[in-house]
Structure 1
Amino acid sequence: MKLCAVQLASHKGDLAGNVHRHLHAMEQAAALDAELVVFPELSLSGYEPTLAQRVVTAADDVLLRPLQAQCDRLAVTAAIGLPMPAAAGVHIGMLILRPRQAPLLYAKQRLHADELPFFVAGAQPLVFAAGSLQIAPAICYESMFIEHAHSVRALGAELYLVSVAKTAKGVAEGFAHYPKAARQSGMAVLMANCVGAADNFIGAGQSAAWDAQGNLLGQLDEHSGGLLLLDTTRNSAQAFALEFAP
């Protein structure tokens, strides 16, 4: 199976513009035969906690219809980050759009202290089928706790789909942690990080893939938009540029 981590800079609070950028990225990933595409944390709004209440977006919002249509047309599953409504506030969410199927919703279960004033935690893990694999999403901070990887592995997950918004320090910590998580859980790991300005930091990119033995298969650079294509059949990963029209 081929899966693609999309590394991009989201425009702060620009939902419509970011939808357009997601559509272009999905088109380019599908041209590489990707069956699943994963975007960085809160990719649809940008990682901007202070804007969460203003840009919260429900899964059935009309704004998202072009993304579902793109998944249907390209036969691609897309894991998209967005602030989702919750009974007690706003979730850091992942909307998983599947071709010609109902979407799946996942909410970050473990929040960083800086996120607590703006978001509420989710309560349910998720493992879903895509192509030949059972896949478990993880969103940034929670993915740094080995217990999370072990818990989804126990539910049958074969690949850890990690969506993050990390600084250079956070990426360095991830590169130390994710190989261990892969080896200990027996799951391959695909991480998608942002680049550019986000909240009060700069996204440090370096989206990467590790196999189930913890071997680094490939990574992107720290500042450019890009696509990292993981081929689980060949146990390889390849980097490609991400192009947007002027």
Structure 2
Amino acid sequence: MLKITIAQLNYTVGDIDGNVSKMITAAQQAAIDGAELVVFSELSLTGYYPGDLLDEPDFLAQAERGLEALQRASRQLPGLHWIVGAPLARSGPGKALENALVVLKAGEIVLRYAKQLLPTYNIFDERRHFEPGPDVARVLRIGSAQVGLMICEDGWNDEGQDYLVNPFARLADAAPDLVVSINASPSNIGKREQRHQIFAAASRRHGLPLLYVNQVGGQDQTVFDGASFAVEPTGRVTFEARRFAEDVTTLQLDEGRFLARDGGLLPDVDTAGLSTMAFYRAQIVLGLRDYARRCGFQRAVVGSSGGIDSALTLALAVEALGAENVAAITMPSVYSSAGSVDDSVVLCRNLGITLDTHPIAETVAALSQQFEASFGRPLQGLPLENLQARVRGTVLMEYSNSFGHLLLTTGNKSEISVGYCTLYGDTNGGLGLIGDLYKTEVFALSRHLNEAAGRELIPQAIIDKEPSAELAPGQRDTDSLPPYPVLDEILKLLIEGRRLSTAEWEEATAFVARLRADPAGDALVQRVRGMIARNEYKRRQAPPIIRVRSRAFGTGRQMPIAAKFV
């Protein structure tokens, strides 16, 4: 029998002292629970992912001191093994660092293992800083059990499709009693189920129980959902830690079966997990909460247009930060409808937040007049529309600077994809909450929030309203764009492609195929493709967005700006 503590913690990148403190507290709890092994996640010492901080000598020196502090702490708990993820120096040709784990025992490093498979795709770029470890299995006897070790990506290639090396098969050849995988596995829709599928299949194939320990928390645009789990040799997931929260839990491993700390049976794991909208909500709320906290913000401000995007952004911000920490500003122009202002009033009353009013009509008129006086040409059409958006963006930034609020931008993925936004206007901000949600998903999530609350957080009038930027008389989004149910299916196929779930892929593929069977529909698809390509420069300058889907703008989709490919 082996008692193991899973330490699923929320680390801050670069906060070595804070991360060390968290780990020591969890290890102390493990000792109280009678555990022989406590397991932390990938790069737990530094947080994942440090990026080019790894090129900073002072950062690496701090990491070394942090590891020494953990070694000293482990002397105080001599009966406990600690599995810690850390960047470690290496010698020889290649990169100077390894993404590694060490096993500490009574002040000593008793085992070291370097990650063999370094992901360099989507949001990952580990090969930039690390050299792959050697093709060897590392196994350590802890108590009565032989424990085999791997790091994250090492376990994702058991079917041999993505790399020439299969660390899982190599480890299975060493015949451990248990496989422990430490991870920093980012969350997106469907990722939990994918993890269960891949690691359950590997456990069943090799007849090995497996413990998968993940980190939790938001880091820039990436969110880690935790959801650490245990799989028995039958391939059944028998334990799952909390999602979107820290969790320190001690389990027993007895003859290949996972049991509760006291030896009792574990509760069944819900295979269904969260609904899509419940997942989006949890991911965005945690992402904002951690982003604000790590960047030193307690409060946020949002421009309230009376539209669905700003309404959803405000509702999510209130859930993450509390109503007392969220401010809304309505900035009516000569084209703003009375209904939009009224809808903002009702929305903010429903959410329990203050709504301030800052009219922009006089400012826009003065700038327009000065433009014509200076350049001999009246400001009209698209430049005048963009001026209104930029004045609003300036007002919001003035508020942020004056009162210390984090400005949240409100663009959704559909608009960002085709450039239906104004640089230095509605793209201003420090973080975008809904930038990885298509417009149809914005509506769906808004309805979900109301259903979950049992009342109208977001007024039905806003949900039912036809989308409009209200920058020109009678303007509607459909003046410039196809209807969002059409646009979104095209965008899913062009932006995410085979990264979509099977159901979404089949639906989008069939929808676009029907469109392209007609010349007008084919022309529409090509037009959308061109709009995506032409607006890369806007996305490059936009704030980070919280990632919820398999391929988000930012590090997950790296496209050149000055290119010709449509």
**TM-score, shorter chain, exceeding 0.5:** yes
Distance of aligned partners of 1:118 and 1:200 in 2 relative to their CA distance in 1, 3 Å threshold: farther
Distance 1:140 1:199 in 2: 20
| TM-score normalised by the chain length of structure 1 | 0.88
Residue 52 of structure 1 is matched in structure 2 by 54
Structure 2: stretches of 5+ with no match in the other structure:
159-165, 267-566
Distance of aligned partners of 1:99 and 1:187 in 2 relative to their CA distance in 1, 3 Å threshold: farther
Residue 187 of structure 2 is matched in structure 1 by 168
Cα displacement (A) at 1:41: 0.7
Residue 222 of structure 1 is matched in structure 2 by 243
Residue 69 of structure 2 is matched in structure 1 by 66
2:16–2:62 Cα contact (<8 Å) kept:
no
Cα displacement (A) at 1:31: 1.2
Residue-by-residue CA offset, 1:28-86 (whole Å, 9 max, x unaligned): 12211111011111011000241223333699x44333322332332110010111112
Mean CA deviation greater in 48-57 or 185-194: 48-57
Distance 2:42 2:61 in 1: 14
If each structure's helix is expressed as a fraction of its own residues, which one has the higher value?
Answer: 2
Distance 1:56 1:173 in 2: 34
Cα displacement (A) at 1:171: 3.2
Distance 2:220 2:99 in 1: 14
Residue 80 of structure 1 is matched in structure 2 by 84
Residue 3 of structure 2 is matched in structure 1 by 2
The correspondence of residues 1-246 of structure 1 with structure 2, limited to 5 A, is: 1-50=2-51, 51-54=53-56, 55-56=59-60, 61-74=64-77, 75-87=79-91, 88-99=95-106, 101-113=108-120, 114-123=125-134, 124-146=136-158, 147-169=166-188, 170-198=191-219, 200-233=221-254, 235-237=258-260
Distance of aligned partners of 1:26 and 1:67 in 2 relative to their CA distance in 1, 3 Å threshold: same
Mean CA deviation greater in 169-178 or 33-42: 169-178
Counterpart residue identity of residue 130, structure 2 = F
Counterpart residue identity of residue 140, structure 1 = C
| 2:76 match: secondary structure | helix
| TM-score normalised by the chain length of structure 2 | 0.40
Mean CA deviation greater in 103-112 or 118-127: 118-127
Distance 1:131 1:192 in 2: 20
| 2:184 match: secondary structure | coil
Larger relative contact order, structure 1 or 2 (CA cutoff 8 Å, min sep 6): 1
Counterpart residue identity of residue 25, structure 1 = A
| 1:97 match: secondary structure | strand
Distance of aligned partners of 1:223 and 1:67 in 2 relative to their CA distance in 1, 3 Å threshold: same
2:101–2:114 Cα contact (<8 Å) kept:
yes
Distance of aligned partners of 1:102 and 1:201 in 2 relative to their CA distance in 1, 3 Å threshold: closer
2:218–2:224 Cα contact (<8 Å) kept:
yes
Cα displacement (A) at 1:21: 1.1
Which protein has the larger Cα radius of gyration, Structure 1 or Structure 2? 2
- Identity score, percent: 28
1:58–1:85 Cα contact (<8 Å) kept:
no
1:57–1:84 Cα contact (<8 Å) kept:
no
Cα displacement (A) at 1:196: 0.8
1:189–1:210 Cα contact (<8 Å) kept:
yes
Q: Tell me how large the CA RMSD over aligned residues is.
A: 2.1
2:146–2:177 Cα contact (<8 Å) kept:
yes
Distance 2:84 2:237 in 1: 24
Residue-by-residue CA offset, 1:186-216 (whole Å, 9 max, x unaligned): 1111111111123641111101111222222
